[in-house]
Amino acid sequence: MAVFLIPFLIILGIFAFEARDELVGRLDFLLPDFRLPVRESEPSAAAPPQQSILRQGPPEAPSPPLQEQGANVYADWIEISSVRRQDPYLITLRTDIPKGSELILTGWSLESRVQTFKVPQGVKLVPAGLDGAVFAPIVLEWGDSVKISGAQNPFKPKFSFRPNACFGYLKETTEFPVSVPSSCPSDIPKIEGVSHLSPACQDFILDFDRCKEPPPYPATSSFANDLQCKNFYENLKFQLSYAGCVKTHKTEDDFFDNEWHIYVNEEERLIRSTHDRILLKDPDGVIIDEYVY
């Protein structure tokens, strides 16, 4: 009888194998998803900031007023060094400006017990013939000094100026109450530069005076009709003049003198000839220096 049960058991096993997926699905439906609750950690409280153990220093002192700052700086940069009381009076300002720095003097003032004089603009490069003078603020640099004179201004129109290496030519025709350079660059050719000319022409040119314009070309000389000599003279004549000197040398480092010459209106005497007190003030009216005599 057991033999007859074998086919029946085989059929039952096949049926059970095919129904396994449906049985598993029913079990998933009957048994809900069971999970252990997980306790979330609470955020940790922020740690209080640590206080610095370094002690704070005393509060910074407030900056001094701008006028006081200017007085402290300029007092070391410029001063009244001397005063000549006799006519024409002369006031000299001496500077000690650091290299690379500058001081604009225009707008400053000199104040005595009788008058106040405000420094005007000036002409750094005096033009030939005084035409086309360019006025600009007077700027002082390291090593500069200032001469302030009550004499008559040597130029018309009147202006303050900075002497240069070519002023020797101007001294021929202009009287300067305050001394200016009397020398000038040596532009007169040497013998090597005129050796191609005739001997008489060479003697004529080599006899030129330094810092003076050449004399007129001689019309009755032995070389009067020497075109080579005459052309050489005409070219040299411009070079040996104030205009030619400026054109040739104005870009050289030592062309300008280290002085400014400023002329006060000669109709108004700035200082007393007896005793006085002179104040040097910056554009803000701050007293930078005082001179008593």
Burial environment of residue 126 by CB neighbours within 10 A (0 to 12, 13 to 18, 19 or more):
buried
Alpha carbon distances (Å) from 233 to 4, 200, 226, 248: 154, 13, 11, 17
Q: Residue 68: CA atoms inside 13 Å, Cβ hemisphere, count?
A: 4
> Amino acid identity, residue 112?
S
Is the pTM for the entire model greater than 0.85? no
Q: Which domains can be identified in the chain, with CATH numbers?
A: 66-184+255-292 (2.60.40.1260), 188-239 (no CATH)
Strand, coil or helix: 90: strand
One pLDDT digit (tens) per residue for the chain, 293 residues: 555 556 555 665 655 555 555 544 554 544 444 454 445 545 555 555 554 434 444 455 554 444 455 566 798 999 999 999 998 999 999 999 999 999 999 999 999 999 999 999 999 999 999 989 999 999 999 999 999 999 999 998 899 999 999 999 999 899 999 999 998 999 999 999 999 999 999 999 999 999 999 999 999 999 999 999 999 999 999 999 999 999 999 999 999 999 999 999 777 789 999 999 999 999 999 999 999 99
